[in-house]
Amino acid sequence: MRSEPPQHPGMDRDPGYGQRHTPFYSQPDIRIYELNKRLQQRTEENLREDSDNLWWDAFATEFFEDDATLTLSFCLEDGPKRYTIGRTLIPRYFRTIFEGGVTDLYFTLKHPKESFHNTFITLDCENTTMTTHHGKPTFTKVCTDGRLMLEFTYDDLMRIKNWHFAIRQHTEMIPRSVIAMHDPAMLEQLSKNITRQGLTSFTLNYLRLCVILEPMQELMSRHKAYGLNPRDCLKTTLFQKWQRMVAPPANTERPPSKRRKRKASQSGQGSGNSSNNQSGGGGSKKKFPTAGRKRSAESDLVLPLDEFGESHDL
């Protein structure tokens, strides 16, 4: 009897058409399942320099937005650390994990909480385990526990916009058969951890380097786009920044006021009304003394035109 392959909870059966995915926007944890599956498809033939770069770029394009950020926070012997890298550095981050001796990488989420917003979906999992398998010096399984907080775009692609993994602790496990070898030198070597908070030395060095590389992204993109040498890229970038600093802000001139036009015509009407009132022997409009001071045009209050097209002064 032919056995059916196990189905993921996010898949359903479509008779006659095999398996199909439910829409990504309804279940964000499916994207983590797809990310794990994509990492397991990384074969030995993709480990060459050129093809490996293309593979990791395609991986990041599939699962991360163009303006995505990835943040790792953990505590080392010298205090807490927090590293944030941009989209262009994310492919290299995942690659350094495998360059440090890792042969397998996947994430396990237990009881994630999802919340839907207008433009994005958040996934918060308090109990997340990042599992890595190391082949040297002996087979070691490293389980890194922490909290994973993700923001997905609310569309069909449902790519990651923000990734934050807060590491709490890690555990390194080796086979029992290796401990049974009563070799003091081997036991001494196995007693030392091969990672720090679940991260290899390759990854930690890369994160420290990213502190320098992240501000230089503008220079790198300019070099890639225009083919300038590093010195010219720096000169051009600094000159443009200086131009933005010394340039006057746009739209600084006040638009011409329409009040002045109205007031000019209304002043004549006001004088005519005043003369009429004087000749008429006193009207209902109260007069204010104006001798010895100048009348300011800004102090006039003008009412809108009435239905007969006339304006009135207060």
pLDDT at 199: 94
Q: How many other β-carbons are positioned within 10 Å of the β-carbon of residue 300?
A: 15
Average per-residue pLDDT for the chain: 76
The predicted-structure confidence for 296-313, as pLDDT tens digits, reads as follows 444 444 444 444 445 445
Tell me how far apart the alpha carbons of residues 94 and 163 are, in angstroms, rounded to a whole number.
13
Look at 188 and 175; give whichever has higher pLDDT: 175
pLDDT at 36: 95
Write the DSSP string, 13-73: EETTTEEEEPPGGG-THHHHHHHHHHHHT--GGGGSHHHHHHHHHHHHHHHEEEEEEEEEE
pLDDT at 294: 44
Look at 298 and 192; give whichever has higher pLDDT: 192
The predicted-structure confidence for 266-302, as pLDDT tens digits, reads as follows 544 444 454 444 444 444 455 545 444 444 444 444 4
Tell me how far apart the alpha carbons of residues 249 and 245 are, in angstroms, rounded to a whole number.
9
Beta strand 79-86 with 11-14: parallel, antiparallel or unpaired? Answer: unpaired
Q: Give CA separation, 173 vs 37, 40, 102, 130, in Å.
A: 23, 21, 14, 14
Contact 60, 160 (CB under 8 A): no
The number of residues making up the chain comes to 314
pLDDT at 118: 82
Element containing residue 76 per DSSP (H, E): strand 64-76
